[in-house]
Amino acid sequence: MESQNRFPRAVRPLERLSSYISRGLIAASYPLRGIYYFLRHPAYYPLFLGRLLPLSIISFLVYTILFMFAFLPQYAFLAIFHGWSAWINAVVLVLGEGLVIIQGLFEGFFVDECRVDVFDATLLDKDLEGLVAPHRLLFPDAPNSVKKLGKPTSAAVYQPWSLIQIIELIVFLPLNLIPKVGTPAFIIITGARLGTFAHYRWFELRGLTKKERKQEIRSRMWEYTWFGTIAMILELIPILSFFFLLTSTTGAALWTAKLEQRARVPHSSAPIIAPASTPSPAPALQRDSHEHDPDEPPPPYVDNPV
């Protein structure tokens, strides 16, 4: 008996580790799933081409200027401490600086409305109209989910613009000065912060209070960290950063749809068996003709010819 009890206890840490790895990988896959889903749905293309393509061109100019004037001085400084790997840290440092500028100038004011539309359209594709309908007008006869979207009837925010978040980006940028571990630490720390906003719109649609939102985030903090880390890496890619903003939003909506489907599955699928109904006693007039009341006179005799 003791040997049987020891074996499960020895396996529990491995099971816990396996669970963490599995949950992290699944969450990290959603930004990548969002890319595939977005590309497979041409109805979403106008949201990017009409609104964010001009901003992508502006972001390209921002990164071009930064790499022309800021990359070489920072690379020369980092090479003193990092050696041959200094160019990696210098690239991430410049990309982070560009991200701070772009977020401060454009993202909170021009991009958020588009991300709300992408998120809501994906929920409509996943048959979650009941979640979206109370918060915006819908046109059910429209040919696709994007054209079904009308004006929001309540505040519609995907990721609230936050000065604190921009300050955090600036504060954590010097992590890239630390050899080897600095750049991964910068991406994971800022990604963890970014991941906590992945379901802000979902919480808003559900009408959660601030306290309830914090509880939800705390319960999935591990998953949000890895979702945000992959989303952060994609956002650091020049020119395509705005495109990946939309695809990561699509991935967050796909994740939301999965969680909603799980929440709506009944806990028990066993059929409910109704109790057998007790037949009502037959009235006295419908009793079997072969039975008679002992108080009644016997029936008249009939001769059987056989």
φ/ψ (deg, to 5) at 161: -65, 130
Q: Is residue 293 part of a domain?
A: no
> Which pLDDT does position 167 carry in this prediction?
84
Least confident of 3-12, 81-90, 139-148, 208-217: 3-12
Q: Could you give the maximum distance between any two Cα atoms of the chain, in Å?
A: 128
Q: Which residue(s) pair with 152 in the sheet?
A: 136
Q: Is residue 275 part of a domain?
A: no
> Which pLDDT does position 266 carry in this prediction?
66
Per-residue pLDDT at 43 exceeds 70: yes
Instruction: Quick: pLDDT tens for 112-164.
Output: 889 999 999 999 999 999 999 999 999 999 999 999 999 999 889 998 877 77
- The residue whose two tokens read 């074996």 is 7
User: Do the beta carbons of residue 228 and residue 193 sit within 8 Å?
Assistant: yes
User: Do the beta carbons of residue 227 and residue 255 sit within 8 Å?
Assistant: yes
Amino acid at site 276: A
Q: Is residue 113 part of a domain?
A: yes
Name which of 83, 109, 259, 236 is nearest 173 in CA terms. 236
Q: Is 180 left (phi over 0), alpha (psi -120 to 50) or beta?
A: left
Interaxial angle between packed helices 210-219 and 221-235, expressed in degrees from 0 to 180 and rounded to the nearest 10? 90
Q: Is residue 147 part of a domain?
A: yes
Residue range of the domain that includes 119: 11-261
Arithmetic mean of pLDDT, 19-44: 96
Total of domains in the chain: 1
**Spatial distance between the Cα atoms of 90 and 74, rounded to a whole number of angstroms:** 6
User: H/E/C letters for each residue in 236-269?
Assistant: CCCCCHHHHHHHHHHHHHHHHHHHHHHHHCCCCC
Q: Is 296 left (phi over 0), alpha (psi -120 to 50) or beta?
A: beta
Highest mean pLDDT out of 68-82, 164-178, 196-210, 233-247: 196-210
Q: Is residue 306 part of a domain?
A: no
Structure tokens at 227: 């979702």
Distance of CA 166 to the CA centre of its chain: 23
> Which pLDDT does position 241 carry in this prediction?
85
**Spatial distance between the Cα atoms of 264 and 127, rounded to a whole number of angstroms:** 13
Q: Is residue 109 part of a domain?
A: yes
Name which of 20, 35, 6, 199 is nearest 119 in CA terms. 199
**Spatial distance between the Cα atoms of 68 and 63, rounded to a whole number of angstroms:** 8
Amino acid at site 265: V
Instruction: Quick: pLDDT tens for 262-291.
Output: 988 765 443 444 444 444 444 443 444 444
- Confidence category of residue 107, pLDDT binned at 50, 70, 90: low
**Spatial distance between the Cα atoms of 206 and 209, rounded to a whole number of angstroms:** 9
Least confident of 6-15, 38-47, 48-57: 6-15
**Spatial distance between the Cα atoms of 183 and 51, rounded to a whole number of angstroms:** 32
Q: Is residue 284 part of a domain?
A: no
Q: Is residue 5 part of a domain?
A: no
User: Do the beta carbons of residue 117 and residue 146 sit within 8 Å?
Assistant: yes
Arithmetic mean of pLDDT, 18-35: 95
**Between 16 and 11, the higher pLDDT residue:** 16
Per-residue pLDDT at 10 exceeds 70: no
